[in-house]
């Protein structure tokens, strides 16, 4: 890894634009335009980064394709939060070695969180020498320059930085959806939960200037976007480090005033930073959806302390009471880890107790995954997989029926649904209610992107069934 020689300047975007134009000129001369395929792993932050990669590649004259096997330029935007995501990347790279023999002009690039780990870079250099370009999370904007360097040198390019410098605004972006969009409001994380690799691969917290965020969202609204998702590893700490004193609650109120935007979502919220000011803003801003994702991870105070979460079970439950008092019909979803080092059956019972008290509308449940480089990986009393699965299944036996009961209460209600796709059932579409519940109902695909009234007629554990009104 290296520290960047120079920080991006105000002219950095224009500099990268010149590289994009040079590559576009080369592609213009080719008999057949090269096609690209992006494989995105991990979170919504990665998905948003891939939209920027898509925009830059198109500006360079590459054309998108639907299948990896048809691509001349393949880029993996990687995740390292869980081991299976890393293993999948390595498995795919093994296959691409054979594909590149059949298409020697194919270019393979790797970026994202995995690439910020020195052990991963060492593995790629030794075992995957057919990879052409490798970069990390801090220099996404340099993609065109790295491609040009690879073309000129005809040799692999590795450009991994060990820290972030300036945020480069206004990169070309191609959104996956016309009617909804993710907007980064900050990058990185300062929390250092002992099980999490993110602060090491995404760097410390860096907030975007509020005027840049508002400018971007206004442009999205002008382009037909109805719903925005404000993204950050911990949106509740937005504003730290900026010259202008601003809180996330204040930013939320500014976004709420933007004409054309009808729904505002955000993630992720850390309980230790969730303020009364934010709860009030959520209650008072009419466009903020009645849904919050508030990970609690574990119900045992001993486990929470070893996780370095910096709140207690009691504090979390008090927060939930405050939120429900201010917004009675809010939906609360969460993340839960089972099998953390040293966790006992009684600790799992504490986690289950939180689920019974809060009655979550949904939960992302995980068995603890050891990540090399995190403090938890070297903790004593690592839990055997069989024991972790026992606690995990016991948790699901409590969480899933609660989710189903809460969905059952919605039967007979008419909900506003943003239609966002075609269902696997012929003639049906899918969408999300304001509280983020998935709904399937019969309608034509021309409604995709519209917010429509749907009467809920039935429910399953994880989704609703309705009729268009």
Distance from chain centroid for Cα 180: 14
Which pLDDT belongs to residue 200?
Answer: 85
167 falls within a domain: no
Q: How far apart are CA 335 and CA 355, in angstroms?
A: 11
Which pLDDT belongs to residue 8?
Answer: 46
Residues 217 and 248 in one domain: yes
Residues 266 and 149 in one domain: no
67 falls within a domain: yes
Residues 115 and 46 in one domain: yes
3 falls within a domain: no
309 falls within a domain: yes
Which pLDDT belongs to residue 2?
Answer: 53
Which pLDDT belongs to residue 19?
Answer: 95
171 falls within a domain: no
195 falls within a domain: yes
Q: Could you list the residue range(s) of the whole structural domain that residue 208 is in?
A: 180-408
Residue 274 above 80 pLDDT? yes
Instruction: For residue 203, name the pLDDT band (cuts at 50, 70, 90).
Output: confident
Is-contact 360 403, C-beta < 8 A? yes
What pTM does this model have?
A: 0.86
pLDDT tens, position by position, 447-462: 999 999 999 999 999 9
Query: Tell me, what CATH number does 27's domain have?
Result: 3.40.50.12160
Residue at a domain's end among 159, 194, 214: 159
Classified as helix, coil or strand, 291 is strand
pLDDT tens, position by position, 3-58: 444 444 458 888 999 999 999 999 999 989 999 999 999 888 889 999 999 999 99
Instruction: For residue 393, name the pLDDT band (cuts at 50, 70, 90).
Output: very high
Total domain count, the chain: 3
pLDDT tens, position by position, 312-351: 999 999 999 999 999 999 999 999 999 999 999 999 999 9
174 falls within a domain: no
pLDDT-above-70 percentage for the chain: 97
Strand 180-184 relative to strand 35-40: parallel, antiparallel, unpaired? unpaired
Instruction: Give ∠ CA 276-277-281 in degrees, rounded to 5.
Output: 115
> What 8-state DSSP symbol labels residue 335?
E
State mean pLDDT over 391-418.
Answer: 97
Residues 330 and 374 in one domain: yes
Q: How far apart are CA 206 and CA 216, in angstroms?
A: 17
pLDDT tens, position by position, 47-64: 999 999 999 999 999 999
Residues 250 and 119 in one domain: no
Residues 122 and 85 in one domain: yes
């Amino acid at each position: 890894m290296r520290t960047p020689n120079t920080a991006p300047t105000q002219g950095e975007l224009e500099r990268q634009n010149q590289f994009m134009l040079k590559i576009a000129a080369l592609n213009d001369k080719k008999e057949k335009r090269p096609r690209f395929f992006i494989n995105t792993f991990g979170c919504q932050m990665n998905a948003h980064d891939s939209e920027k990669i898509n925009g830059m590649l198109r500006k360079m004259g590459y054309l998108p394709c639907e299948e990896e096997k048809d691509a001349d330029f393949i880029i993996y935007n990687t995740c390292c939060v869980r081991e299976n995501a890393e293993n999948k990347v390595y498995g795919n790279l093994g296959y691409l070695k054979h594909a590149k023999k059949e298409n020697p002009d194919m270019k393979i690039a790797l970026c994202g969180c995995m690439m910020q780990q020195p052990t991963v870079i060492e593995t790629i250099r030794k075992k995957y020498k057919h990879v052409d370009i490798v970069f990390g999370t801090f220099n996404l904007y340099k993609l065109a320059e790295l491609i040009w360097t690879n073309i000129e040198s005809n040799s692999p390019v590795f450009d991994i930085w060990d820290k972030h410098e300036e945020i480069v605004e206004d990169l070309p972006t191609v959104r996956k959806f016309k009617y909804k969009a993710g907007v980064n409001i900050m990058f990185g994380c300062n929390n250092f939960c002992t099980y999490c690799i993110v602060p090491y691969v995404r760097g410390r917290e860096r907030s975007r200037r509020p005027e840049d965020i508002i400018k971007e969202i206004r442009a999205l609204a002008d382009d037909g976007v109805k719903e925005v998702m404000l993204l950050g590893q911990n949106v509740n700490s937005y504003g730290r480090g900026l010259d202008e004193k601003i809180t996330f609650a204040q930013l939320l109120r500014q976004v709420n005033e933007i004409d054309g935007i009808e729904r505002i979502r955000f993630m992720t919220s850390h309980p230790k930073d969730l303020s009364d000011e934010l709860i009030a803003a959520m209650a008072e801003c009419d466009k903020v959806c009645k849904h919050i994702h508030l990970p609690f991870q574990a119900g045992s105070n001993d486990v929470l302390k070893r996780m370095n979460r910096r709140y207690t079970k009691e504090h979390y439950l008090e927060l939930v009471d405050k939120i429900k008092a201010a917004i009675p019909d809010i939906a609360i979803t969460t993340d839960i880890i089972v099998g953390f080092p040293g966790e006992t059956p009684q600790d799992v019972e504490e986690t289950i107790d939180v689920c019974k008290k809060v009655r979550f509308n949904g939960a992302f449940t995980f068995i603890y995954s050891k990540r090399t480089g995190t403090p938890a990986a070297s903790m004593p009393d690592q839990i055997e997989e069989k024991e972790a699965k026992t606690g995990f299944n016991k948790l699901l036996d409590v969480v899933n029926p609660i989710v189903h009961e809460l969905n059952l209460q919605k039967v007979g209600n008419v909900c506003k649904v943003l239609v966002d796709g075609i269902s696997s059932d012929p003639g049906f579409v899918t969408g999300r209610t304001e509280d983020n519940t998935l709904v399937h109902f019969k309608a034509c695909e021309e409604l995709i992107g519209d917010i429509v009234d749907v009467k809920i007629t039935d429910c399953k554990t994880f989704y609703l069934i309705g009729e268009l009104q």
